[in-house]
Each structure stands twice: as structure tokens, then as C-alpha cells.
Structure 1
Amino acid sequence: MKKILKWVGLGVLILGALWAAAFFVKSNGKSAIEYETHNPFISSIEKKTVATGKVIPEDEVEIKPQISGIIDKIYLEEGVTVKAGDLIAVIKVVPNEQALNQANGRVRNAELALNNAKIEYDRNKTLFDKGVISSQDFNNLALTYNQAQQEVKNARADYQIIRRGSAGGSSSANTNIRATVDGTILEIPVEEGDQVIQSNNFNDGTTIASIADLSKMIFEGKVDEGEVGKLEVGMPLEISLGAISDKKFDANLKFIAPKGVEEAGAVQFKIEGDVKVDESVMIRAGYSANASLILEKKDSILVIPEALLQFDKSTNKPYVEIATGEQQFERRDIEIGISDGVNVEIVSGLEKDDKVKQWNKTEPIKKGLEEDEEEDSEETAE
């Protein structure tokens, strides 16, 4: 029994030694890793930033009433194109009882003064015709009579304005709410029956409608303080709208805010740009938009793919490895410039003929190891 166990143990050791030898030979028989190389090339780089915001009309006018009252009738709807002077709505006046009573009393007083002036005028006219009084005295009485007539007209007009909102139902009556500019009605925030307040020195008044020219739009957005210093008025913008994904719009930067606003721990600066509207596309006010700005651009410069760069752990300076022979490389420190996230500018350290090592070779190595492990497991099972 002992002899059998001895021979079994010896057999196991021999098989183990053979397997180890086979694995060692196979491992050393693998081909060496071959690194690809890339040459620097001449290209252009644009460094861009994106500002988020929205597209709004350049000028938006709010129509407010000149008299308080109740909306009696609305004639137009939102989205309708209007001309200056078009009737939008009519207000029904609800007069103040005290003001109405005072206006009525003024009319009665003016009528009494007119009756008295007429009596004096008629009596003195007879005397003037007979030559009893002078021409100057009669002219003074005629002036008083004419002023009394005008006062009655004024008092009655004021009474009608307080009672109805207009003196005679003319097209310029305060109760008629009309468009003051050409454009499109963006919003009518009131309904028939709503009470409105007139615009005055102490109150902005109730907005009955807002009108804007949708052919004149601007982009309004914000940029970070780290990039605002590179912007200049007049720079070109490329506007993309969330609602119109298949079309870009050109614009020019026209305003950069002199003061920033802190948002979520970062200082943001407001910018505006004139958008060149295509007449074939309907742009609605308030569309969300992104503006692409070119912060820096260089043409015909030496570049390499940014993926070829490595950075020294101690100095954080960039370097690459250059081929010196067949799969032989040496380190070379370089100086880089601007980058667009894909390619990076080479300021110094490389020439067009240099062959730069590509680093991303980890996946093929892992794949080879997995295949070897599978083969080894199969051999063990056998």
C-alpha cells in the first residue's frame, strides 16, 4: 500500500512539473507588445465655450389702460399680427360716485353762470345798438358771455369722461385699448370681466396685452467669470435652439454685463447677441438656446492628438515618448498651447517627422491574458 501511495505521489509531482514547464514555455513564447506611433500634423484649433440662455424679442411693449374699469370686450387673440392703432379691447368705465357728483355740480354751476352772462349780454347789446354804452364795455360783456359758453362745454365733457371714459365716443377714447406698435401679440393676461387699473405715477397699471416684433430677436444668456474676459463686443455667435435642432442661427455679441451675479457659488455675467432670423423659420419668444462662442482660434499650427500626452506626477508638466528605433522609445518634454479637447497645439519639443508613442494598449494585453487563462483551464480539465 505504501508503495502505491509513493508511486502516485511521484506521478503527481511529475505531472505538476510538466504543466509548469509547459506554462513557462508558452508564456515566454508570446509576442512582444507593439506600440503604434503617430506623427504631429498641421491643423487649426478653435477653443470654444457654450453659453446657455434663451431667445427673446429685442423690444417687448406692454399695453396698459389710461383709465380704470372692467374689460368689456376683447377683439384679438394671442399670436395675431397687429399694426399700430388696431383695437385690442374695450373697457367699461365704473365711475367714482363722488367724482361723478362733483362733475355734475360743475356742469350746473357753469349753466347758471352762462344764463346770467346771456341776460347781461342781451340787455347791453340793446343799449350798445342805441349808442348808450361804449364799444369797450360791450366787448368785455361779450367776452364774459363767450367764456361762460366754453365753460359749460368743458364741464359737460369732463362729466362724460368720468361717466363713460370719453367725451364723445371718438376713436381715441381712453376706453379703447389699441396697439401702440407693429408686431405680434405675445400674451393677453386678462379676460372679459376682469377689473383693470390705469397707469399713473404711482402704479404701473394692469397689462392688457404684450406686443413684440418677432423678426428682431436677441439671445440672452450667461457665461462664467473665467471666460468673460476673453469676450469682445462684435464676436460671432452660433445659436442652436432646443425646439429647432436641425438649424443653426448666426448672431453677433452686442452686450457684456459690467457686473456679475453669483449663482451656485460661481459668478455669472449676462451677455446679449443680435440673432439673424431666417424668415422661413418661426422663432417663438422664450425658446431655450445655446450660444457657441469662439474664445481663441489658431490656424496652421503643429498639433497632436491629446490622448498621446502624459503628465509628470511631480511637476505636472506634459511629455511624450518618441520612437528611437524598432519599438524603442525615449521621453521628451514638450510645451503645449491651446486645445479643443481632441487635438492640442505643440509649441515646442516636437517636429513633424517625430513618431509619438500611442499609450492606449491595455485592452489587447488583457484580451491575450484571458485567452491564455481559458486555454490553461481547458488543459487542466483534460
Structure 2
Amino acid sequence: MKKKYLIILAIIGINFTSCRKSQENKTSPQYKQLTEAVYASGNIYPRNEYKLTANADGFLIKQTAFEGDLINKNQLIFQLESISQDARLEAASNILRQSEANFGDNSPILDELESQLKNARTKLSNDSINYARNKELFDRNATTRIEYERAELAFQTSKNDVSARRKAWLRTKNQLYVDLQNSKSNFKVNAREGDNFRIRSFEAGKIYEIYKKQGELVRKGEAVALVGDANDVYAQLAIDELDFAKVKIGQEVLIKIDVYKDKVFKAKVTKLYPKLNKADQTFRVDAEFIDEKPNTFYGMTIEANIVVSQNPRVLTIPKNYLVGSDSVWIEENGDKKKIKITKGVENLDMVEVKSGLTEKSVLFIGN
């Protein structure tokens, strides 16, 4: 980028016009208020800019918003074809419903086991009564040992059967609970996988560009759309590396946008980026608009002046009176003389003279 210094006198109420020349192209230095600025070029971008990307491979089969549309946070914007994943999700959903039925209040599996346990307890109760009666009879020698032992064996068998059936009921219930939790986890995983085929917005904003059309194949990690803040923009500027040291955070920036013709927007420097862009030998600087902001059109080209110093009263001459980089022709006692001067701030139109001339000096162009 060619180094430029612009003077912003129109903004502070002072005309840009060079010192008035005589018909012989003569002039004299004048004290003026001089503002030094660094030239920058760049573009306008929305804040909170991000790209919507795909988390899975698939064909784009549905689109709910288009370029220029305002969108809400977490709004579904695109949907990719997901036949295989939909089938897996449906299978997981069916398994989950079956698991919930198996472990629910009306579980057919648990009802059957509970019924078997109830019958075993009834038999145990009968066998217990029969055992007690036979024991009493045996103690009074009213029955044989064989009948007594048969009743005792039936009672112990029923007792063991009740214990076994209760353990089977608890074991089955615990297993059905584990199956239900696994089914829930499997369903959540498949549902989450299904979300990879649905592309949603991260934040509310405006869609500035869409990179894919319906029916096109989208690869995992591929950008599908560009989204940014619909109400706020900032200026992204490129500063020549020779001027970068002069730029500080908080400095005033005067911005000209081609779309707005002669209108000048005011901003301030908010961020300096320390990395040099080797392609064009520039540094990036961001500026935030003050008061009025331009419309949120993405990438509008701008030119800007960053005010780096303001000199309320300095001796200046028109730049076209310079000979080389530090000399001028003056008239002294009727003779023409070439002398050297010490320059200060300079720009495309004016040069500050620190020494070598006074207000009474008479300058002219050429020999």
C-alpha cells in the first residue's frame, strides 16, 4: 500500500485549499490548524460473524431461510438427507418404547413373575399348615413318620420355591431397569446423531450468503451459510506497516463509503492486530462506529483517515512548492534563492515548516 497522509480540515471547519498564489505563482507561509491522519482502506463487516457448517455428509433436502433473512437463535435452517440415520433412530425409539413397557407399572414380564410368586406363596401357606398339623399328629403318635416327613419336605420345597421366585422377580426387574437405561442412552445417541443432519443457527442474525443449493451434496465440516449481526457493523482496516506505529486505540477515524457518496462516518480505533500481512505489507486495525452507523451490508469498500495528531497552529506551505524533499525557492532582495527547510507533518496538500522560513518569506514555483 502506498503511504498516504491526508489532512482532514473540512471536518474541523478549515478549507483544504492551498495558500493563495499570486499571478506569478508566489506565496508566503501561513499559520494554520493542521490535522495529521493516516490513510487506511478496508471493508465493513457485521459483528458476531460465523459460518454454519455441516456435521455430517448428506444431500441438502430442505432450506427454511434464505439470503437476507433474519433468523433466531437455534433456528433450523438446513436439513440433510439421513435415511440410514433415520432408520437407526426409529429402531432405537422402538426399543425404548418396548423397554419402557417392560419396566412400567403394567409390565407383562413382571406381572407374570409376580403371579408365579403369588401362587408359590399360596402353596407355601397351605404346605405350612399341613406341616404343622402333621407335626402335631406325629408328636401324639397319631400319624406315621413317613407322612410327617412328606409334609415337612413339601413345606421346605414350597419355602425354597418362594425364595427362588422372589429372587427371579428382583433379578428380572433389575435387568429390565438396566435395559431401559441402555435404551434411553442409545436413543439419545441416535437422536444426537440425527441432529448432525439438521443445521441450526448459533445466534440470532442475518444470513448474508448461502454456499449450497437444495439437492447438492454437503460434506462434513463444509460451510453452508454465512451469518452475522443484523444490527451492528464494524470497520476492518488495512494500515501500511510504515504508519502502523502511529495508530493507537481510541483515535478518531473518519470513514468514506462509496455507497453513501459524500457522507462521512465517524468511528474510533478499538483493536490493533500485531501480525503483519506479508502479501500487502499491512496490519489490520478494527474501528467501531460512533453514533450513526451504515446499513449492515456485508463487505462494503471504505476509505478512512485515522487522526493521529492535531496541531492547533503550525507554519505551513503548499506541498507543490517543495523542490525535492526538503528545499524551496524563495525571493530574497530581488534575487531567487534555493534553500533547505526542516519539515514537520506533511500530507498530500500541505507541509509543516519547522525551520528555514517565516511568514514574511516569499516562495515561488520553479527556477
Note if 1:237 corresponds to 2:253: yes
Instruction: Using the TM superposition, give the Cα deviation of residue 302 of structure 1 relative to its aligned residue in structure 2, in angstroms.
Output: 1.7
Counterpart of 2:59, as a letter, is: I
Kept in 2: contact 1:95–1:163 (CA 8 A): no
* 1:241-273 deviation digits (Å, cap 9, x = unpaired): 23332322222222222221322xx63222222
Q: What is aligned with 2:281? A: 267
Note if 1:72 corresponds to 2:61: yes
Q: Partners of 1:309 and 1:64 in 2: how far apart?
A: 57
Query: Structure 1 pair 274/97, CA: closer, same or farther in 2 (3 Å)?
Result: closer
Q: Partners of 2:54 and 2:326 in 1: how far apart?
A: 68
Query: Structure 1 pair 241/128, CA: closer, same or farther in 2 (3 Å)?
Result: farther
Query: Structure 1 pair 182/143, CA: closer, same or farther in 2 (3 Å)?
Result: farther
Instruction: Using the TM superposition, give the Cα deviation of residue 177 of structure 1 relative to its aligned residue in structure 2, in angstroms.
Output: 3.7
Q: TM-score, normalising length from structure 1?
A: 0.64
Counterpart of 2:52, as a letter, is: I
Q: What is aligned with 1:359? A: 365
Kept in 1: contact 2:89–2:191 (CA 8 A): yes
Note if 1:155 corresponds to 2:175: no
Q: What is aligned with 2:173? A: 145
Counterpart of 1:226, as a letter, is: L
Q: Partners of 1:66 and 1:126 in 2: how far apart?
A: 56
Q: Partners of 1:176 and 1:107 in 2: how far apart?
A: 23
Instruction: Using the TM superposition, give the Cα deviation of residue 83 of structure 1 relative to its aligned residue in structure 2, in angstroms.
Output: 1.8
Larger displacement relative to structure 2 (299-308 or 231-240):
299-308
Query: Structure 1 pair 164/82, CA: closer, same or farther in 2 (3 Å)?
Result: closer
Kept in 2: contact 1:224–1:269 (CA 8 A): yes
Q: What is aligned with 1:255? A: 271
Query: Structure 1 pair 159/300, CA: closer, same or farther in 2 (3 Å)?
Result: closer
Q: Partners of 2:68 and 2:86 in 1: how far apart?
A: 39
Query: Structure 1 pair 335/91, CA: closer, same or farther in 2 (3 Å)?
Result: closer
Query: Structure 1 pair 139/52, CA: closer, same or farther in 2 (3 Å)?
Result: farther
Q: Partners of 1:101 and 1:182 in 2: how far apart?
A: 32
Instruction: Using the TM superposition, give the Cα deviation of residue 43 of structure 1 relative to its aligned residue in structure 2, in angstroms.
Output: 0.1
Note if 1:226 corresponds to 2:232: no
Kept in 1: contact 2:49–2:229 (CA 8 A): yes
Q: Partners of 1:101 and 1:238 in 2: how far apart?
A: 60
Query: Structure 1 pair 283/109, CA: closer, same or farther in 2 (3 Å)?
Result: closer
Q: Partners of 1:163 and 1:322 in 2: how far apart?
A: 89
Considering only aligned residues, what root-mean-square deviation do their CA atoms show, in Å?
4.3
Match of 2:242, SS state, is helix
Q: Partners of 1:254 and 1:330 in 2: how far apart?
A: 48
Q: Partners of 1:331 and 1:107 in 2: how far apart?
A: 97
Kept in 2: contact 1:308–1:356 (CA 8 A): no
Instruction: Using the TM superposition, give the Cα deviation of residue 79 of structure 1 relative to its aligned residue in structure 2, in angstroms.
Output: 0.3
* 1:344-380 deviation digits (Å, cap 9, x = unpaired): 222123333x14132358xxxxxxxxxxxxxxxxxxx
1:4-19 paired onto structure 2 within 5 Å: none
Q: Partners of 2:96 and 2:204 in 1: how far apart?
A: 41
Q: Partners of 2:68 and 2:102 in 1: how far apart?
A: 54
Query: Structure 1 pair 225/194, CA: closer, same or farther in 2 (3 Å)?
Result: same
Higher relative contact order (CA 8 A, sep 6+): 2
Q: What is aligned with 1:194? A: 216
Given candidates 71, 76, 82, the residue that maps to 1:82 is 71
Counterpart of 2:258, as a letter, is: G
Instruction: Using the TM superposition, give the Cα deviation of residue 225 of structure 1 relative to its aligned residue in structure 2, in angstroms.
Output: 1.6
Counterpart of 1:321, as a letter, is: I
Q: What is aligned with 2:316? A: 303
1:52-131 paired onto structure 2 within 5 Å: 52-65=41-54, 68-95=57-84, 119-124=112-117, 127=120
Note if 1:318 corresponds to 2:327: yes
Q: TM-score, normalising length from structure 2?
A: 0.66
Counterpart of 1:318, as a letter, is: S
Percent identity between matched residues is: 20
Counterpart of 1:336, as a letter, is: K
Counterpart of 2:327, as a letter, is: P
Match of 1:351, SS state, is coil
Q: What is aligned with 2:233? A: 217
Kept in 1: contact 2:51–2:223 (CA 8 A): yes
Note the residue ranges of structure 1 that are not aligned, 5 or more in a row. 1-33, 167-172, 199-204, 362-382
Count of residue pairs brought into register by the alignment:
305
Instruction: Using the TM superposition, give the Cα deviation of residue 228 of structure 1 relative to its aligned residue in structure 2, in angstroms.
Output: 0.9
Q: Partners of 1:164 and 1:357 in 2: how far apart?
A: 80
Q: Partners of 1:252 and 1:239 in 2: how far apart?
A: 10
1:38-49 paired onto structure 2 within 5 Å: 38-49=27-38
Query: Structure 1 pair 68/308, CA: closer, same or farther in 2 (3 Å)?
Result: closer
Q: What is aligned with 2:304? A: 291
* 1:152-191 deviation digits (Å, cap 9, x = unpaired): 585388469759976xxxxxx6655433311111122222
Match of 1:155, SS state, is helix
Instruction: Using the TM superposition, give the Cα deviation of residue 128 of structure 1 relative to its aligned residue in structure 2, in angstroms.
Output: 6.4
Match of 1:229, SS state, is helix
Q: Partners of 1:256 and 1:181 in 2: how far apart?
A: 26
Given candidates 347, 358, 364, the residue that maps to 1:340 is 347
